[in-house]
Structure 1
Amino acid sequence: MKHLYILLFILPLIGFGQGWEQMFGGDEDDVGYSVQQTTDGGYIITGGTENNGQNIYLIKTNETGEEEWSQTFGNSFLFGGWGSSVQQTTDGGYIITGTIQGVGGNNDICLIKVDDEGTEEWLETFGDDDENDEGYSVQQTMDGGYIITGETQSFDVIENSLYLIKTNENGEEEWSQYSYGSVSEYGGQTGSSVQQTNDGGYIIGGSNLSESSESMDMYLIKTDNNGNEQWSQTFGGDYNDWGFSVQQTSDGGYIFTGYSFSFGNVDVGSEIYLIKTNEDGEEEWSQILGGVGHDFGYSVQQTTDGGYIITGYTESFNSINGDVYLLKTNENGEEEWSQCFGGSGYEEGYCVQQTIDGGYIITGLIESDFVIGQDVYLIKTDSQGNVTSTIELPTPQSKRELIKTTNILGQENTTIKNQPLIEIYDDGSTEKKIVIE
């Protein structure tokens, strides 16, 4: 079916709607790993920047994605760190976790609390200075403290192990746990995502090296309020399957995403792996999503209609070097629509959230011809994943005749679809349209 829309103008970023794109950074590489809509309708983003050394990058924007302020945190060494997760706190400030270079030259997990203007209030680090530890996810807890997950090589663990840390409101450690379940002699266990559950415990999503197949499995762990394991589940096949994002769903179960080399087009590469479990972590259904190339799922959230929104990366769908991938499913994980974003370079989406207007906000990285190095990529879409939207008007009726159709560069083309075109008539008038199939 063809739908005809007449546009009031045809600039690359067409107005009227809820969609826009913004980029942030300098001449070196910058990346956004986490985004959240703030109480004022704007957005807070964290990631990393290599301008003036590699440091944690924090950006606050207004509701249209225009920067209000930004801050960097690190030790100004060649390698300073990066921010992996950010959340607005109940006092209007922000909490960030990530990785920072410790005094011994190795990586430590860091927890940074800032006020509503990004000014540091305190910074805490966790882990052994002689080993590498990395923080991937943080959430403020019901008691005003914080829960963090990541991975550790401290505590005489083999290679790396999942790490769970609970702090008070000042970032001081109350307890920590590591090496859940059966850890392979080769290590290979990580926590990528953590959330406090309705019962006051915690759900952690990550990956674990299987001792039987010597490949990675998606790994889901439920703990009590002191971090003691209540149950764990693994998901995957004979090859590597990686888990990145988990959320408790409205029915008390869990939605978990990552990517799989075990299922789908295994001869081509990976596919997005989406798993829905009950409250005990038992699989209710799973879906393999994507196209004919590599597809990765990094972030998932349940939407207000009971479905799910996922972002990640795709090399399918005529992607040149890889694009940001946004995919919406129904409550059973069946695809409703998908969108790709990016240019001629390499783009990835690392975090997605539904916004208060029913659209979506995504952050990641963009590397295209018009960008020096990599930049933080911030994308706001409407409820259907569109960055641009249009107003539909009735087609004027007249006796004029169409002479030719061109694109916005003036090149004649009569089969243009899904992009702006100009129709030129014998009376000298023109119409600007998009035909969408």
Structure 2
Amino acid sequence: MIKKYVLTCIFYAVMAVTAHSKAQMAGSPQMSFYAVTARYGGTDQDYLYSVNNTSDGGFIMGGYSAAASSGSQDQAGSTGKGGLDYWIVKTDTTGNIQWQKRYGGTGDDQLYSIVQTIDNGYVMLGRSDASSASTGDQAGTAGKGGIDYWLIKTDASGNIQWQKRYGGAGDDIVNGANSLVQTADGGFFIGGYSVAASANTGDQAGSTNYGGYDYWVLKTDASGAIQWQKRYGGNNDDYLYSVKQTQDGGYVIGGNSNVAGGNQSGLNTNGNMDYWLVKVNNAGAIQWQRNYGSMGDDNLSDARQTSDGGYIMAGHSSYGLGLSGDQSGITPYGNTDYWIVKISSTGDIQWQKRYGGASTNYCYAIRQTSDGGYMIGGFSDANSANTGLQAGSPGYGGNDYWVLKTDNSGAIQWQKRYGGAADDFLYSISETPDGYLFGGFSAEGSFNTGNQAGTNKQGGFDFWVARTDKNGHVGMVR
């Protein structure tokens, strides 16, 4: 599975005579940085949503893959289970595949989040339709009704140790790279959103429906047994995308809401959809909850606690109805911009900023970096390239990855676009000891163009990762 290119050799030759570069040749004892851009896939569609570092210095990548990709290209030796399957790829630090596996039943199974566990295995979460229940890797696991959450725990080599479906009588949907964490006690905290028909049925016995879709979270032990579960919502639809454990042992959960009533009593809507952030204790009891927004749609993708005990929220905000509410007085750059909000430990806004080019910019990930600043990422359309805050960043074609490095007050230190000639969609960020790893998926037409010069075509959309140094530079291909 190891691919080598002439470009790699050129890179090494150049770097060997560049004294100030951090990059070193593979295998050198002075090695401090590997810059890698790589595509992974089979002959059909492969969609990457989650990338994380592993304890051995490598990476784990997870998403889902069409049936026709199984057994082909980078999936050689893998077996399709039926429809869409979970697909994970374990690499070394230079992006070479060490192993890869597919997991699924006979229906569609879509993976959104994967993390390494404290025992050096892996846990992965996504959603699985009813026809997958009791089939394939889900043998012996009954469906709850409609779409269910599907959680898998593996050993360090990807072999399944246990797997569980969770749901009520209706559809229960995981839909984001930030929907899973391992907790301090070795268990797991997971979340998504659930239709009204699931309330007080199946694994949701005793839960209350508030109206439409509600946030639905579960706390499990280390074996996946439910310890508690709760729904949170207002009278309208509420969509959960992000869950994190907090320093006090509780949890912060966030997504989007058309705010009205229920758990949201006392809140005032700012427009259509708002960011809705809920802080709960270690048993799920609400400690405080706030909404944030303007007159348009504000869609939160990622929320996490910061080193000062506050929180940072990332998503995107439309401009169609004008800026007001929490965004009064700030400048829009396009019809949809990244919107980052820094709040205190009790939810008060400390600062908030929009970032964008002249058109459409969608944000899906944020990380506080080792220097106390932030790395922010998503994707941006061709019309935004070299405009607004993207001045100096040319477009490569279609949507590109767009990332920004800021200080701890949100001031931009640098920003870059990455892409090929077609569409490239970023959903996940990881900080490495020497830089950053950006992950998502890339259309077939992007291979061997732009930042992907030298990469191989696998087929359809592929997983695409770009590893950079601390200043965002990409140096070679795998």
Q: What TM-score does the superposition give when structure 2 sets the normalisation length?
A: 0.75
Q: Which moved more, 1:82-91 or 1:101-110?
A: 101-110
For the pair 1:197 / 2:227, whether they are aligned, the reply is no
For the pair 1:171 / 2:224, whether they are aligned, the reply is yes
Match of 2:235 among 184, 190, 198: 184
Equivalent pairs: percent with the same residue? 31
Match of 1:40 among 56, 65, 68: 56
Match of 2:400 among 323, 334, 337: 323
Q: How does 1:149-298 map to 2 (within 5 A)?
A: 149-153=191-195, 154-155=198-199, 158-180=211-233, 183-185=234-236, 187=237, 189-211=238-260, 212=269, 215-262=272-319, 263=323, 268-298=334-364
Match of 2:157 among 117, 131, 135: 117
Q: Which moved more, 1:154-163 or 1:170-179?
A: 154-163
* CA distance in 2 between partners of 1:194 and 1:83 (Å): 16
Return closer, same or farther for 1:235/1:64 CA change in 2, 3 Å cut-off.
Answer: same
Mapped contact 2:278–2:289 kept (Cα < 8 A): yes
Q: How does 1:402-421 map to 2 (within 5 A)?
A: none
Mapped contact 1:14–1:388 kept (Cα < 8 A): no
Indicate the SS of the match to 1:176: strand
Indicate the SS of the match to 1:144: coil
Query: Between Structure 1 and Structure 2, whose CA radius of gyration is higher?
Result: 1
* Cα distance, 1:268 vs structure 2: 4.1
* Cα distance, 1:54 vs structure 2: 0.4
* Cα distance, 1:130 vs structure 2: 3.6
* Cα distance, 1:158 vs structure 2: 3.2
Indicate the SS of the match to 1:128: coil
Letter in 2 for 1:242: N
Q: 1:429 — aligned with what? A: none
For the pair 1:364 / 2:451, whether they are aligned, the reply is no
* Cα distance, 1:157 vs structure 2: 5.4
* Cα distance, 1:8 vs structure 2: 11
Structure with the higher helix share, 1 or 2: 2
Q: 1:61 — aligned with what? A: 91
* CA distance in 2 between partners of 1:252 and 1:237 (Å): 25
What do the CA deviations read for 1:326-383 (whole angstroms, capped 9, x no partner)? Answer: 11011101111111111111001101021122x0011100014244210011111100
Q: 1:106 — aligned with what? A: 146
For the pair 1:381 / 2:468, whether they are aligned, the reply is yes
* Cα distance, 1:85 vs structure 2: 1.0
Q: 1:313 — aligned with what? A: 379
* CA distance in 1 between partners of 2:122 and 2:99 (Å): 13
* CA distance in 2 between partners of 1:94 and 1:285 (Å): 36
* CA distance in 1 between partners of 2:61 and 2:14 (Å): 24
* CA distance in 1 between partners of 2:439 and 2:8 (Å): 29
> Which segments of 5 or more consecutive residues in structure 2 lack a partner in the other structure?
1-6, 16-22, 24-32, 68-79, 134-142, 200-208, 261-268, 324-329, 386-393, 448-456
Letter in 1 for 2:213: N
* CA distance in 2 between partners of 1:206 and 1:327 (Å): 22
Return closer, same or farther for 1:11/1:193 CA change in 2, 3 Å cut-off.
Answer: same
Q: 1:334 — aligned with what? A: 411
* CA distance in 2 between partners of 1:9 and 1:289 (Å): 37
Letter in 2 for 1:138: L
Letter in 1 for 2:159: T
What do the CA deviations read for 1:375-405 (whole angstroms, capped 9, x no partner)? Answer: 011111100111128xxxxxxxxxxxxxxxx
Letter in 1 for 2:64: G
Q: Which moved more, 1:43-52 or 1:143-152?
A: 43-52
* Cα distance, 1:194 vs structure 2: 1.1
For the pair 1:91 / 2:148, whether they are aligned, the reply is no
Mapped contact 1:109–1:135 kept (Cα < 8 A): no
Indicate the SS of the match to 2:174: strand
Return closer, same or farther for 1:76/1:12 CA change in 2, 3 Å cut-off.
Answer: farther
Letter in 2 for 1:233: R
Match of 1:147 among 189, 196, 200: 189
* CA distance in 1 between partners of 2:243 and 2:220 (Å): 14
Return closer, same or farther for 1:13/1:190 CA change in 2, 3 Å cut-off.
Answer: farther
What do the CA deviations read for 1:157-184 (whole angstroms, capped 9, x no partner)? Answer: 533111111000000111011124xx13
Q: 2:422 — aligned with what? A: 345
* Cα distance, 1:152 vs structure 2: 0.9
Structure with the higher strand share, 1 or 2: 1
Indicate the SS of the match to 1:200: coil
Q: 2:76 — aligned with what? A: none
Letter in 1 for 2:118: T
Return closer, same or farther for 1:113/1:291 CA change in 2, 3 Å cut-off.
Answer: same
Letter in 2 for 1:55: D
Match of 1:21 among 37, 42, 67: 37
Return closer, same or farther for 1:29/1:224 CA change in 2, 3 Å cut-off.
Answer: same
